[in-house]
């Protein structure tokens, strides 16, 4: 008898507290079964973990202040008879458990999936609840959550809003939207777009195919896509690493160092305070208002730089380079190193810019190809033209190289 | 035929029916012509899938596939000998694994579209098409120039530099975008092309290019965009076959899901055998479950128990 009492107490703790269920026919051949579970003991102190396993369907999770967790499960059954629907429910039940000792609420989806039954899960949780949710498939929406959060779905979109803490979000296929968060996050889509807005902290975002958009980010970010464009607006942090296996990268209003690369696509950087490394295997590079040093390259395209206040190194295998250099005494390095194999180079530098100029031109008609606003000492060495001069103190190295063909024009503004 | 009969037939073809049911099924089969026909179709579907899954990709075989394809296209379209060059740039694509179906789609479309264009295009477009035919175009650059009437500017390089501006309704612009999508080595340009094409409802030839892109592009981002765009087109047999192939073969789950979305948004009975295959062989539980749900819809529809949705 003693053992029976123990078993009864244990099972009452381990198993669910279903407070409500309903069964009704929605229309011909369609039935709806609703279950609601409530666990008042779940505290809002970060001690509890909600675990969802093997669930197949959409999930909505909303955090609230204060204790109590409730789960609403809606099951839709497509069969001809009520009897059939009830049998289906029994065969494919979602199991809800509560373990007060381990501080866990666990929801397990049915082992066997039927084409006639579908589920939706709606959870109201204390904000400070840890989440470990693995769904076989379906969309996931989370609003207001804090703690250690791991969400994986076998396919579906994710909509995340107001999440603080440490988060890992992964969908096997679908778009991810994440707005308003603080903490460390890892965001992965095996295929789909990722949009991240208003995040403070450190995060990585990766998609196997799709576009990545970031805006209003404070912190550090590593983003990559195997095929898609990357756009960043308003970033303030130590570093931003962005790479795509194919697609354009556009970033603007950036305060921090950036390292961006694309295997094929254009790069555009606007209003950067920081250093930039930018490379494309095929596409144009556009730079506008850069307060820092730039190292950029393209294997085919044009490089246009406007209002470059720091040093610049630009390498172009086939295409033109045009750089408008500005002078900002706050910055130490003002060197220019511009190289192209085939293409013209146009540069404008501030008047009396103290440069140590070296121009190397290997191509045909090299002498007539060089046009500068200042006098150059030209020497012909084995068909290679080397032109040099010093402007004022000649403090900053200023080197232009053309390996094959192209014209050079240098203006003093 | 009932759903249960079809299910048993599918299981017998897949050799997973138990011995009792199998002997019963074999007894029934000779007396039911519909069932026999269905089994043959199902076996043929499986055979196609098996052969594509186990395709040997040796250069020799690829070459022979290309040759046989060219011959087939030449005979089907009655293209003159000189016009066979039209196909060449598109059959020398970058793919490592050649899918017969996609080749047929690509080549058929291009053979057809250029054949048509040649007769009607302006002298400027003929020049560009000739350059394309000869494979002399390189470094095609797409720019959006802000001009409202002709927002797309294509800069081409051959022996001379060429620039051509137009909007998406311009047939030459469309064809150049198709060319880029299927032929350019630069993933960024292919992506740009497919994103521009997103803004218009394409005719059949354009839809076929999207199908080819979904099936063959090496980049998952491009395949995904193409698959998503195909959701707005009516699913005929070609598109259904392409979706089934994608679901069973694509290594990117999002692309497979998008292909499933296409099947779901345009359910037609033709896809039932394919769904039965997917329900059994697909490795992903979500896709399996969605295939099961669709089969349930078909089953109910056949019994007349629910409102038709097709």
Kindly determine whether residue A226 and residue B219, on different chains, have CB atoms separated by under 8 Å: yes
Kindly determine whether residue A227 and residue B292, on different chains, have CB atoms separated by under 8 Å: no
pLDDT of residue B288: 85
Percent of chain A exceeding pLDDT 90 equals 76
- Most confident of the ranges A127-131, A328-332, B71-75, B148-152: A127-131
| Option in B189, B252, B296 nearest A190 (CB) | B252
CB A61, CB A138: distance < 8 Å: no
Q: How confident is the model at residue A254 (pLDDT cuts 50, 70, 90)?
A: very high
Nearest CA in chain B to A264: B188
| Option in A138, A174, A210 nearest B221 (CB) | A210
Mean pLDDT across the stretch B59-67?
A: 42
- B25-29, B128-132, B164-168, B192-196: least confidently modelled range: B128-132
Tens digit of pLDDT for each residue in B246-304? 988 898 888 998 999 998 888 888 788 888 888 888 878 888 888 888 888 888 776 65
Which two tokens mark A271? 């209003």
CB A221, CB A205: distance < 8 Å: yes
Mean pLDDT across the stretch A177-185?
A: 98
Tens digit of pLDDT for each residue in A80-99? 889 999 999 999 999 999 99
What ipTM was predicted for this assembly? 0.75
What is the pTM for the complete model shown? 0.76
Is residue B70's pLDDT more than 70? no
Residues of chain A positioned with their CB less than 8 A from the CB of B255: 173, 191, 209
Please state the φ and ψ torsions of residue B226, each to the nearest 5 degrees: -65, -45
Is residue A9's pLDDT more than 50? no
Q: Give the span between the Cα atoms of A307 and A328, in whole angstroms.
A: 10
pLDDT of residue B253: 85
Q: Give the span between the Cα atoms of B41 and B34, in whole angstroms.
A: 11
Q: How far is B4 from chain A (nearest CA, A)?
A: 15
Q: Give the span between the Cα atoms of A193 and A178, in whole angstroms.
A: 11
Set out the domains of chain B in order of their start, with CATH numbers: 234-310 (1.20.930)
CB B255, CB B220: distance < 8 Å: yes
Residues of chain A positioned with their CB less than 8 A from the CB of B295: 115
Kindly determine whether residue B187 and residue A266, on different chains, have CB atoms separated by under 8 Å: no
Radius of gyration from C-alpha coordinates of chain B = 22
Tens digit of pLDDT for each residue in A140-174? 999 999 999 999 998 899 999 999 999 999 998 89
Kindly determine whether residue A113 and residue B300, on different chains, have CB atoms separated by under 8 Å: no
| Option in B224, B256, B279 nearest A210 (CB) | B224
Residues of chain B positioned with their CB less than 8 A from the CB of A58: none
- Per domain, the residue ranges of chain A are 1-137
Q: Give the span between the Cα atoms of A268 and A298, in whole angstroms.
A: 12
Q: Specify the DSSP class assigned to residue A352.
A: T
Mean pLDDT across the stretch A199-220?
A: 96
Kindly determine whether residue A263 and residue B188, on different chains, have CB atoms separated by under 8 Å: yes
Please state the φ and ψ torsions of residue B17, each to the nearest 5 degrees: -80, 140
């Amino acid at each position: 008898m003693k053992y029976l009492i123990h078993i009864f107490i244990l099972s009452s703790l381990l198993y669910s507290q279903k407070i409500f269920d309903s069964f009704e026919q929605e229309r011909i051949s369609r039935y709806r079964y609703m279950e609601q579970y409530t666990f008042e003991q779940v505290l809002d102190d970060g001690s509890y973990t909600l675990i969802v396993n093997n669930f197949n369907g959409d999930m909505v999770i909303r955090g609230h202040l204060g204790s109590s967790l409730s789960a609403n499960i809606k099951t839709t059954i497509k069969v001809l008879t009520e009897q059939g629907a009830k049998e289906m429910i029994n065969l494919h039940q979602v199991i809800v458990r509560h373990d007060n000792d381990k501080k866990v609420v666990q929801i397990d989806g049915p082992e066997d999936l039927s084409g006639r039954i579908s589920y939706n899960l709606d959870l109201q949780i204390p904000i400070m609840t840890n989440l470990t949710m693995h769904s076989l498939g379906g969309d996931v929406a989370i609003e207001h959550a804090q703690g250690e959060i791991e969400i994986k779905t076998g396919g579906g979109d994710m909509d995340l809003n107001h999440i603080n803490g440490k988060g890992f979000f992964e969908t096997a296929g679908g778009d991810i939207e994440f707005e308003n968060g603080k903490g460390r996050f890892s965001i992965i889509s095996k295929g789909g777009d990722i949009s991240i807005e208003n995040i403070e902290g450190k995060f990585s975002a990766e998609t196997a195919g799709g576009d990545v958009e970031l805006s209003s980010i404070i912190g550090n970010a590593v983003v990559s896509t195997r095929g898609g464009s990357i756009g960043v607006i308003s970033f303030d942090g130590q570093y931003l690493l962005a790479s795509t296996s194919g697609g354009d990268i556009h970033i603007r209003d950036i305060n921090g160092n950036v390292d961006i690369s694309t295997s094929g696509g254009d790069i555009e950087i606007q209003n950067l305070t920081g250093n930039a490394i930018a490379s494309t295997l095929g596409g144009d590079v556009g730079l506008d208002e850069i307060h820092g040093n730039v190292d950029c390259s393209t294997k085919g395209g044009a490089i246009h730089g406007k209002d470059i206040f720091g040093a610049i190194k630009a390498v172009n295998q086939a295409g033109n380079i045009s750089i408008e250099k500005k002078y900002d005494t706050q910055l130490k390095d003002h060197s220019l190193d511009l190289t192209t194999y085939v293409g013209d180079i146009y540069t404008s530098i501030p008047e009396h810019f103290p440069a140590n100029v070296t121009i190397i031109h290997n191509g045909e008609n090299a002498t007539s190809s060089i046009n500068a606003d200042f006098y150059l000492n030209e020497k012909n060495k084995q068909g290679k033209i080397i032109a040099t001069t010093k402007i004022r103190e000649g403090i900053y190295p200023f080197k232009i190289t053309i390996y094959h063909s192209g014209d050079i024009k240098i203006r003093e503004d | 035929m009932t759903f249960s009969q079809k299910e048993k037939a599918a299981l017998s073809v897949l050799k997973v029916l138990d011995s009792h049911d199998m002997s019963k099924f074999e007894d029934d089969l000779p007396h039911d012509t519909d069932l026999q026909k269905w089994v043959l179709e199902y076996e043929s579907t499986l055979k196609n899938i098996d052969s594509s899954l186990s395709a040997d990709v040796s250069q020799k075989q690829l070459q022979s596939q290309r040759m046989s394809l060219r011959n087939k296209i030449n005979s089907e379209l009655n293209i003159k000998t000189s016009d066979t060059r039209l196909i060449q740039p598109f059959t020398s694509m970058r793919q490592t694994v050649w899918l017969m179906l996609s080749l047929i789609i690509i080549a058929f479309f291009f053979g057809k579209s250029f054949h048509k264009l040649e007769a009607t295009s302006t002298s400027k477009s003929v020049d560009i098409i000739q350059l394309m035919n000869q494979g002399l175009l390189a470094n095609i650059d797409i720019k959006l120039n802000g001009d409202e009437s002709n927002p797309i500017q294509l800069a081409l390089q051959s022996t001379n530099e060429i620039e051509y501006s137009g909007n998406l309704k311009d047939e030459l612009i469309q064809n150049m975008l198709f060319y880029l999508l299927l032929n350019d080595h630069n993933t960024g340009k292919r992506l740009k092309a497919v994103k521009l094409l997103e803004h218009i409802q394409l005719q059949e030839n354009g839809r076929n290019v999207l199908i080819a892109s979904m099936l063959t592009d090496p980049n998952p981002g491009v395949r995904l965009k193409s698959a998503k765009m195909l959701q707005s087109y009516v699913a005929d047999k070609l598109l259904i076959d392409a979706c089934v192939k994608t679901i069973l073969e694509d290594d990117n789950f999002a692309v497979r899901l998008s292909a499933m979305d296409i099947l779901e948004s345009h359910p037609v009975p033709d896809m039932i055998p394919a769904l039965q295959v997917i329900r059994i062989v697909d490795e992903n539980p979500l896709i399996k479950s969605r295939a099961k749900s669709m089969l349930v819809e078909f089953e109910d529809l056949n019994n007349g128990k629910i409102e038709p949705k097709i």
